[in-house]
Structure 1
């Protein structure tokens, strides 16, 4: 299959919606979508659990889409629900899984989640295969997009996985951390750190010998947060080691299935490295860099109708599915 074989219509921003910050913020504030998810608890081999929201179809042999949200997101964010609705309307079974600690219930272990925690996504994939799904497509947003790309590069990737798409993917974690540390991005940085503070406080209370909240209010950047919490809790030397080992840009030459990444050039979260195709990238790697779109935005004025990103993901998935069946 070549790029020309895929159904494709370039994204055009709605009138007055070309600003990257507006495109990033407006959907989370104004989009109103609710789908009838049914929640399942997936027990993990290490004693922890994941909360997976499911949108079922009755069609035998329906394909499965697995949706991964972004940093401090969850399955009830509008971008997840919109994607779930669009795929479900086309006859796809949907899993929208929540990272550890993100589904409204704190996970059991001291660890929580990070950009390279693909063991959990692999567990969700295996649960779908155990249910009998023969064709599985992955969709990821932001951090979930990074996990999606990493997973699609795994040498032992399950044969049932036909490919995937990531939107607003921080392919180079170090460069994106530096981008978000800039004063122009302070509104996002403060929000992330405030949300994460609640979780660190909970874990500090339950695991006082491992985690402390002391001095948290002095943290201003992801480098400081990841140095103090993410790296030691998840087996990395420091933030730099974590970013280097978990950046999906490093695996683009090893992709096992067709992988589409869509990164808008005006995304305030992403650095220049996220818009460049490495010279050694796999033929499976497709990169689209529309001039507009913001971070997980890609909106026009009819916010509650299917977004361009949802149509793009489903078109790509349907093309891959057609090649399989």
Structure 2
């Protein structure tokens, strides 16, 4: 019995020591976690969450944006768990919800025999602009291979719906399910189809103010293989290889570099005569900070450039859980409203 009593005493002392060590370990772990959290919060607030840079070609445009688009002077807070450029770019389509939008489709014929698909959101329930002929129209231009069903387009339609505006989405040839009638799709340098669409939209609602918003920059094989080696094209592993084998050939460029030179907006910015706001993240994986033509923007009073430190390519996620809208959506909403309702202040920006 004596040995048993001693055994229990020893066991009790051992357990007491273990509990004490465990509590001390938990305290150390908690302190480390709190310290790391505080350090990360400090890093986030000083290095990640920052106000964007607003660059304009003139004082008048700067003051217009400052007065009517307060988002351009506010701090952009990307999610603390997702601010890296590639993560923002890849996760946006999966994180943000897709608003439900019902379109009215219209196919218009191009001079070369091809057809272009337009998806209209008429917004007939608009209370702020109940008169259809004068209801403001927002022309939306999706990015590369994008259509009216892209999440970022649906959010822009949703923002326009809440403002009471009409939307029309320009789908490039062969990407939205319509039949490709000619062996021609589209490229970043050719604007013939867009010019035709703008003229069509103007004639459809001549009394309605119109503005355009574009994001970033497929077809049917039986038509294209008559003119191109599609098997060779589909083996391309990079965008450059695809353009070399397909796009630059389709539009008659001597070399792929000639196509890229003609497609680059830097050569066209000086001639912009309509007030234009451009949003770009400094960490954009396709258009990084060193490629942004800041000095060219400063030379044209019709141009404004908003640069965020983070956001990736068409990412711009913000807040704790960016399910409903992004920083880009807020910029679009405020700028669209300012242009349509306060556009008179943009006259004579020289």
TM normalised by structure 2 equals 0.71
The question of whether the paired residues in 2 share the 8 Å contact of 1:252 and 1:281 is answered with no
Please say which structure displays the higher CA radius of gyration: 2
Aligned counterparts of 1:82 and 1:287: Cα–Cα separation in 2: 22
Runs of at least 5 residues in structure 2 that lack an aligned partner in the other structure: 1-59, 125-129, 346-350
Deviation at 1:275, TM superposition (A): 2.5
Q: Tell me how many residue pairs correspond in the alignment.
A: 268
Task: State yes or no: 1:47 paired with 2:122.
Answer: no
Q: Which residue of 2 aligns with 1:212?
A: 229
Deviation at 1:207, TM superposition (A): 4.3
From the superposition, tell whether residues 220 and 76 of structure 1 become closer, same or farther in structure 2 (CA, over 3 Å).
Answer: same
Task: State yes or no: 1:276 paired with 2:293.
Answer: yes
**Structure 2 residue aligned with 1:3, among 40, 47, 62?**
62
Q: Which residue of 1 aligns with 2:104?
A: 38
Deviation at 1:141, TM superposition (A): 0.7
SS at 1:296 equivalent: coil
Aligned counterparts of 2:224 and 2:123: Cα–Cα separation in 1: 41
Task: State yes or no: 1:135 paired with 2:209.
Answer: yes
Task: State yes or no: 1:299 paired with 2:310.
Answer: no
Deviation at 1:52, TM superposition (A): 1.0
The question of whether the paired residues in 1 share the 8 Å contact of 2:163 and 2:337 is answered with no
**Structure 2 residue aligned with 1:229, among 246, 265, 271?**
246
SS at 1:215 equivalent: helix
Q: Which has more helix, going by share of residues? A: 2
TM normalised by structure 1 equals 0.77
The question of whether the paired residues in 1 share the 8 Å contact of 2:281 and 2:288 is answered with no
Deviation at 1:206, TM superposition (A): 2.9
Q: Which residue of 1 aligns with 2:78?
A: 13
Runs of at least 5 residues in structure 1 that lack an aligned partner in the other structure: 144-195
Taking only aligned residues, the RMSD between alpha carbons, in angstroms, comes to: 2.0
Aligned counterparts of 2:301 and 2:280: Cα–Cα separation in 1: 18
From the superposition, tell whether residues 129 and 215 of structure 1 become closer, same or farther in structure 2 (CA, over 3 Å).
Answer: closer
Deviation at 1:15, TM superposition (A): 2.1
Aligned counterparts of 1:303 and 1:107: Cα–Cα separation in 2: 37
From the superposition, tell whether residues 251 and 85 of structure 1 become closer, same or farther in structure 2 (CA, over 3 Å).
Answer: same
Matches within 5 A, 1:17-32: 17-32=82-97
The question of whether the paired residues in 1 share the 8 Å contact of 2:140 and 2:212 is answered with yes
From the superposition, tell whether residues 92 and 274 of structure 1 become closer, same or farther in structure 2 (CA, over 3 Å).
Answer: farther
Q: Which residue of 1 aligns with 2:330?
A: 311
